[in-house]
Amino acid sequence: MNSWAAVHVLAATSGLVVAALALSRGSPSPLRRPLALLGAVQFAWNAASTGLQLTRHEAYSWLGTIAAPFFPPLALYFVLIFVGRRTRRRTLLRASWVFFVAQSLCSLVELIIPGEQLPGGLVVTAEVLLVTSLPLAAWGIVEVALHLKRVTTPLERNRSQVLLFAIVVVVALLVTDPLADMGLQLPRLSALGSFTFNVLLLHLTLGLGLFKSERPRRVALGQAVVVGLLFATSYLVFYLAFQDRMGVLITALTALSLVLAIITWLFVNSASAAKVGLERFATLGRFSAQMAHDLKNPLAAAIGASEYLAEELRRDGREDTRAMSELVVQQLQRLGTVIDRYQRLSRLEAQRAPTDVNALVTKVLSLQSFAAGHGIAIDTRLTQPAPRPAIDADLLASALENLVKNGIEAMPKGGTLTVSTDVQRDDEARVVIAVRDTGTGLDARALEQAFEPFFTTKATGSGLGLAFVREVAQAHGGDVGLVSREGAGTTVSLWIPADIDSNE
């Protein structure tokens, strides 16, 4: 085995280590899937390059060109999730996927049906891949550089610097192979670039804590290394044992089958997780509605019995006991009101009526202020005159309670919670309720997922708070905006159409 074949084996092993680490430690991070796929693709490409170095069989070059086009869009996918721009850049990202997958399919056709399907052969294929990959690399570098300017915490800054350095290094070293294929006198350093990139990814995920997990870092890394070495050694044994036979090609195809198996497993697992989340959300709604329905019948009986008892005590002249019985009736009626309210909340059916928003905010804050604890100041900035849009006061109060509670919990060391109301008149008049805290804030990745059901950054959180707030706003024809910077606090703005009545 020559030295470059050994480097490819090392790079392939490191790719499997990255993939294994992402699969074992990355859940539920959105970076888990692209990182595992990046490792798998690098393993496939380096495995094909190892076969080429050992056998000089041209089929391995085509196998490499099948795997290589997946790397640029995957790397960009990883970067966009890291900087919190995946949703905003979705269309361009999908376009890049279509283009590079088409390149991979062309190479696959050439491998299956050798001939002149691709004019120019491997050289032209390398040129096309190089020319089309560089714009994506530049895009990724710009996204990370802009993210680096936005972040404020030292840890996130270090993560961004490592990722930026990793992209620059891998681009500088990976381009040497296609340039060499084009006839330039350059050393082929792509295997070294792949290995370096994987090492930096491992440092990013483990050393800088990009993935949060209860498993010790050394244990996770050790297990991932064992998996990587096991697979790489197995494939290397096959290469050396069958390098003069067709078994070599079969082995390479088996390697690609492993990559496809990982891809399939990841996408099926992701789809299953999304389905389970939606089912949980629907189940919670059905359960709360059924629970409210089941409680109303015995509650109605208890209210009727209590009213009868109170009337009997009134007739007997037992005023002291009658007062207590009437209190029972009042509390049971109050409980019935609460059940009706939650039954309506579970269906998100807005029963609108003109409501003083300032009074609603004041009422919610008067109840939540007791839970604020020491060190938290609550500041209210209410616009005058008070807006009175047609809203469901119970629904909006519940949404505001969620926002206030989130803001308080985001300031464990104290701070200021500011709640404001305003009437904005741009294209259409709308009432805006903003809740701003001076707490820990959200990083770019958490910010992009904040409104997804069951997503939470809290150990004991349900992940339903902001999703519920958005549902309430949309039930009124409005929406919710979220602005946050890690270490600089969070502002949530809920707006609804300003159907202002005559009191304004």
Q: Give 316-328 pLDDT, tens digit per residue.
A: 766 666 666 666 7
DSSP symbols for 334-388: HHHHHHHHHHHHHHT----EE--HHHHHHHHHHHHGGGS-TTEEEEEE--SSPP-
Q: How many CB atoms lie within 10 A of CB 489?
A: 22
pLDDT tens-digit readout, 438-473: 888 888 888 887 777 656 665 555 555 788 888 888
Tokens of 370: 């007791």
Domain ranges of the chain: 3-244, 280-347, 353-497
Mean pLDDT for the stretch of residues 166-172: 92
Mean pLDDT in the chain? Answer: 77
Query: Comparing 175-189, 360-374, 419-433, 434-448, which segment has the lowest mean pLDDT?
Result: 360-374
Q: Determine contact, residues 387/347, Cβ cutoff 8 Å.
A: no
In the chain, the percentage of residues whose pLDDT exceeds 90 is 14
φ/ψ (deg, to 5) at 422: -160, 160
Mean pLDDT for the stretch of residues 20-49: 80
Position 471 scores a pLDDT of 85
Q: Which H/E stretch holds residue 150?
A: helix 121-150
Give, in words, the CATH class of 353-497.
Answer: alpha beta
pLDDT tens-digit readout, 230-281: 666 666 666 566 555 555 555 555 565 565 556 546 554 554 555 555 555 5
Position 253 scores a pLDDT of 52
Q: How many C-alpha atoms does 97 have within 13 Å on its Cβ side?
A: 10
Compute and round to an integer the Cα radius of gyration of the chain: 30
φ/ψ (deg, to 5) at 386: -65, 125
Tokens of 122: 């491997």
In the chain, the percentage of residues whose pLDDT exceeds 70 is 67
Write the CB contacts of 349 (distance below 8 Å, at least 6 apart in sequence): 475
Burial class (CB in 10 A: 0-12, 13-18, 19+), 286: exposed
Write the CB contacts of 297 (distance below 8 Å, at least 6 apart in sequence): none
Q: Round to whole Å and give the CA distance between 63 and 52.
A: 10
Q: How many CB atoms lie within 10 A of CB 268?
A: 10
DSSP symbols for 111-132: HHS-SSSSTTHHHHHHHHHHHH
Decide if pLDDT at 406 tops 80.
Answer: yes
Mean pLDDT for the stretch of residues 188-199: 88
If you search the block for the tokens 């190089």, which residue do you land on? Answer: 130
- List the one residue out of 102, 107, 210 whose CA is nearest residue 156: 210
Q: Round to whole Å and give the CA distance between 40 and 264.
A: 12
Q: Round to whole Å and give the CA distance between 256 and 376.
A: 57
Of 116-120, 135-139, 310-314, 428-432, give the range with the top mean pLDDT: 135-139
Q: Which residue has the higher pLDDT, 462 or 190?
A: 190
Q: Round to whole Å and give the CA distance between 455 and 458.
A: 9
Give, in words, the CATH class of 3-244.
Answer: mainly alpha
